[in-house]
């Protein structure tokens, strides 16, 4: 696969390796030629000609330079090829993560996904580095083996017994190392998962005094990973020297057989020396193949895990539909909507309602009644099990990729703020002028505190917006949606950390531009709900009543109990300070 993707680079590095191998064998020829034509005549005549000396030096220097060129080409090509393949697969894995629906991500911990994109991709292509060298040095091995056969057939066959021994040694190594490598890769993912949870839950860990327990939990996984890697390292430590010693054992066997044959007149002493020397040359290709084979167990495990992501099913399909480029609110229709996670019980069923353009609908319900699931369906983060959601008459599943994002926006309760400037967080890659950013901040009631920041729009907000309060982060998140001028805006309790006075001003600003935006709000506060044109009361995944706030208070006892319970004092001074 890597060779097919990067044929030019692989050819360059392989040619460099072949050049290195051929010139390593050529060293033996240069040494022999120099001995016969320069060294022995010098001993015989008592002097050496300057021309011969220059020729010898030129031969050795020329071979050394060409061999250095081969090494450079081999290493440069191998490194470039390895890093390109790793970069390509990291992009492919990340792209696949973005393509897979949210339901798939719910089943896979974030730590494991990070491990696959990083350490598994790196492990999958680790053999690329020694591959060109191993392939290129085959040339050296072929030349050396041919010379061995030309020197003495019997000794060559004896020497080549090294190769079955190498194959057997590698099979044994693969048999015992593969389970260890598989476990090590899994533990890396689990360790990343623990670390990710600890970092994400740092506030909970510290406020509940769980630092020691979290440290112990991380340490337990780290120790298990350490022990597994040590066992794998011990196995590798036994494999490498065994593989390296096999050619040396072959030389000893060749010398023993050769001496026997010389004593019985079956071979010349020079042939024995030549075969033994050539077998030492063959040792380098064997070692390079060993380096390649030694990387295979971890590589196979890593590639298997990467492939599982690339082959994952559940890709969200898109049509070719387009929405009208209108400047008024969109018409939202929900028809017999039902949804269940992975074959579990239905969280929503038979949900029907319509929101006319520019109208505001409040969705009210107790915890676990399906409100957040509904908001994800309205913005097609997940697809319904049954029924459909339409925007201006178009089924969301029939729209082209990215089309819904041009007309609809979701603001979740958990606001995420990037480690970027205020401008970067609001624009988020969109080309907008500062006036549009300020207008979105004004509607979100965030312009006041942003103007008071040291550098205004250019102030960096820190990782996850650590420099802001919870209410401020929610307002930045709301401004991010508003700057895109959505025709449908879905707020999933997006102002829960904001005090009631500020929340009223935000909703008032949104309603003042009601003709431009259709608004669906998951709400709890009575004052907020009262601003809606219509209220949808959800209970156990079903709509139990619809109407105005006053109508539901009068005829729906469970609704009245619910909203009055939410009005019990809970917006204390601490929350108000936090939100401002």
| pLDDT for the residue 575 | 44
Of 144-153, 413-422, 423-432, least confident by mean pLDDT is: 144-153
| pLDDT for the residue 579 | 43
Question: How sure is the predictor about 537, in pLDDT bands with cuts at 50, 70 and 90?
Answer: very high
| pLDDT for the residue 71 | 75
Report the pLDDT averaged over residues 146-172: 77
Question: How sure is the predictor about 572, in pLDDT bands with cuts at 50, 70 and 90?
Answer: very low
Domain annotation covers residue 549:
yes
| pLDDT for the residue 55 | 78
Radius of gyration over alpha carbons of the chain, in Å? 36
Domain annotation covers residue 370:
yes
Please indicate whether residue 294 or residue 266 has the higher confidence score (pLDDT). 266
| pLDDT for the residue 580 | 43
Q: Any residues with CB less than 8 A from the CB of 229 and at least 6 apart, and which?
A: 184
CATH code for the domain in which residue 493 is found: 3.40.50.300
Q: In the listed set 444, 470, 485, which residue is the last one of a domain according to the structure?
A: 485
Question: How sure is the predictor about 333, in pLDDT bands with cuts at 50, 70 and 90?
Answer: very high
Q: In the listed set 290, 310, 330, which residue is the last one of a domain according to the structure?
A: 310
Asked if 195 and 280 sit in the same domain, the reply is yes
Domain annotation covers residue 501:
yes
Please indicate whether residue 39 or residue 386 has the higher confidence score (pLDDT). 386
| pLDDT for the residue 456 | 86
| pLDDT for the residue 570 | 47
Q: Is the dihedral of CA 247, 248, 254, 257 positive or negative?
A: negative
Report the pLDDT averaged over residues 21-26: 70
The pLDDT of residue 574 is above 50 = no
| pLDDT for the residue 577 | 37
Domain annotation covers residue 228:
yes
The Cα 475–Cα 502 span in angstroms is 10
Q: Provide the percentage of residues in the chain whose pLDDT is more than 70.
A: 86
The pLDDT of residue 513 is above 60 = no
Q: Provide the percentage of residues in the chain whose pLDDT is more than 90.
A: 3
| pLDDT for the residue 294 | 63
The Cα 478–Cα 491 span in angstroms is 8
Mean pLDDT of the chain: 79
Please indicate whether residue 101 or residue 426 has the higher confidence score (pLDDT). 426
Domain with 155 in it = 2-310
The Cα 493–Cα 76 span in angstroms is 55
Question: How sure is the predictor about 291, in pLDDT bands with cuts at 50, 70 and 90?
Answer: low
The pLDDT of residue 26 is above 60 = yes
pTM of structure? 0.63
Spell out the alpha helix ranges (H) of 100-117. 102-106, 110-115
Domain annotation covers residue 196:
yes
pLDDT digits (tens, 9 = 90+) for 210-260: 788 888 888 888 898 888 889 888 888 888 788 777 777 877 887 788 887
The Cα 261–Cα 272 span in angstroms is 9
The Cα 342–Cα 104 span in angstroms is 9
Domain annotation covers residue 332:
no
Asked if 206 and 175 sit in the same domain, the reply is yes
Structure tokens of 558? 């469970």
Asked if 101 and 245 sit in the same domain, the reply is yes
Domain annotation covers residue 333:
no
Asked if 546 and 473 sit in the same domain, the reply is no
Asked if 187 and 39 sit in the same domain, the reply is yes
pLDDT digits (tens, 9 = 90+) for 164-212: 887 787 778 777 877 887 788 778 878 877 887 777 777 677 777 778 8
State how many domains the chain has: 3
Asked if 350 and 237 sit in the same domain, the reply is no
Strand order in the sheet with 394-395: 346-355, 332-340, 386-391, 394-395
DSSP per residue, 67-82: HHHHHHHHHHHHHHHH
Q: In the listed set 455, 485, 515, which residue is the last one of a domain according to the structure?
A: 485
Asked if 350 and 368 sit in the same domain, the reply is yes
Question: How sure is the predictor about 573, in pLDDT bands with cuts at 50, 70 and 90?
Answer: very low
Three state DSSP letters for 419-488: CCEHHHHHHCCCCCCHHHHHHHHHHCCCHHHHHCCCCHHHCECCHHHCCCCHHHHHHHHHHHHHCCCCCE
Report the pLDDT averaged over residues 455-484: 84
Q: Any residues with CB less than 8 A from the CB of 4 and at least 6 apart, and which?
A: none
Count of CB atoms situated within 10 Å of the CB of 256: 11
The pLDDT of residue 438 is above 80 = yes
Asked if 499 and 461 sit in the same domain, the reply is no
Asked if 206 and 348 sit in the same domain, the reply is no
Where are the extended beta strands (E) located within 494-533?
Answer: 518-522
pLDDT digits (tens, 9 = 90+) for 86-123: 888 889 888 888 878 777 777 777 777 887 888 788 88
Please indicate whether residue 306 or residue 181 has the higher confidence score (pLDDT). 306
Asked if 364 and 461 sit in the same domain, the reply is no
| pLDDT for the residue 285 | 67
Domain annotation covers residue 24:
yes
CATH code for the domain in which residue 49 is found: 1.20.1560.10
Structure tokens of 366? 């107790």
Asked if 92 and 194 sit in the same domain, the reply is yes
| pLDDT for the residue 63 | 78
Please indicate whether residue 73 or residue 477 has the higher confidence score (pLDDT). 477
pLDDT digits (tens, 9 = 90+) for 54-81: 777 788 788 778 878 877 887 777 778 8
| pLDDT for the residue 109 | 76
Report the pLDDT averaged over residues 333-349: 84
Asked if 359 and 504 sit in the same domain, the reply is yes
């Amino acid at each position: 696969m890597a060779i097919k993707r990067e044929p030019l680079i692989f050819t360059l590095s392989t040619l460099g390796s072949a050049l290195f191998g051929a010139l390593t064998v050529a060293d033996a020829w240069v040494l022999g030629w120099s001995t016969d034509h320069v060294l022995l005549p010098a001993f015989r005549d008592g002097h050496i000609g300057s021309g011969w000396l220059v020729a010898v030096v030129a031969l050795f220097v020329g071979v050394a330079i060409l061999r250095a060129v081969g090494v450079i080409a081999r290493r440069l090509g191998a490194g470039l090829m390895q890093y390109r393949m790793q970069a390509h697969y990291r992009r492919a894995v990340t792209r696949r993560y973005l393509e897979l629906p949210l339901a798939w991500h719910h089943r896979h911990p974030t730590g494991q996904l990070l491990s696959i994109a990083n350490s598994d991709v790196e492990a999958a292509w680790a053999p690329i580095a020694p591959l060109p060298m191993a392939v290129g040095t085959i040339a050296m091995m072929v030349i050396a083996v041919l010379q061995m056969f030309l020197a003495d057939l019997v000794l060559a066959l004896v020497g080549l017994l090294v190769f079955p021994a190498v194959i057997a040694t590698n099979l044994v190594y693969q048999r015992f190392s593969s389970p260890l490598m598989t476990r090590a890769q899994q533990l890396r993912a689990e360790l990343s998962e623990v670390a990710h949870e600890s970092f994400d839950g740092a506030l909970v860990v510290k406020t509940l005094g769980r630092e020691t327990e979290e440290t112990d939990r991380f340490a337990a996984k780290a120790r298990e990973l350490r022990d597994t890697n040590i066992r794998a390292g011990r196995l590798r430590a036994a494999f490498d020297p065994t593989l390296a010693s096999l050619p040396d054992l072959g030389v000893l066997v060749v010398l023993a057989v050769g001496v026997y044959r010389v004593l019985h007149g079956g071979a010349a002493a020079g042939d024995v020396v030549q075969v033994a020397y050539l077998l030492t040359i063959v040792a380098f290709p064997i070692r390079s193949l060993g380096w390649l084979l030694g990387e295979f167990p971890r590589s196979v495990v890593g590639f298997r895990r990467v492939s599982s992501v690339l082959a994952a099913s559940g890709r969200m399909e898109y049509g070719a539909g387009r929405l009208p480029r209108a400047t008024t609110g969109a018409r939202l229709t929900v028809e017999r909507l039902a949804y269940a996670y992975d074959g579990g019980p239905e969280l929503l069923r038979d949900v029907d309602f319509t929101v006319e353009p520019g109208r505001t609908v409040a969705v009210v319900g107790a915890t676990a009644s399906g409100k957040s699931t509904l908001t994800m369906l309205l913005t097609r983060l997940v697809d319904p099990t049954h029924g459909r959601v339409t925007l201006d008459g178009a089924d969301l599943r029939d729209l082209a990729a990215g089309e819904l994002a041009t007309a609809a926006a979701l603001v979740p309760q958990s606001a995420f703020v990037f480690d970027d400037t205020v401008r970067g967080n609001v624009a988020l890659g969109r080309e907008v002028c500062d006036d549009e950013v300020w207008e979105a901040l004004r509607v979100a009631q965030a312009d006041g505190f942003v103007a008071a920041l040291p550098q205004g729009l250019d102030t960096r907000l820190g990782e996850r917006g650590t420099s802001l309060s919870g209410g401020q982060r929610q307002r930045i998140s709301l401004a991010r949606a508003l700057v895109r001028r959505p025709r449908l805006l879905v707020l999933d309790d997006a102002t829960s950390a904001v005090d009631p006075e500020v929340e009223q001003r935000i909703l008032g600003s949104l309603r003042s531009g009601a003709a431009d935006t259709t608004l669906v709000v998951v709400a709890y506060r009575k004052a907020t709900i009262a601003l809606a044109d219509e209220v949808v009361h959800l209970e156990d995944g079903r709509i139990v009543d619809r109407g105005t706030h006053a109508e539901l208070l009068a005829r729906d006892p469970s609704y009245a109990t619910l909203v009055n319970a939410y009005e019990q004092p809970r917006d204390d001074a601490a929350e108000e300070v936090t939100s401002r």
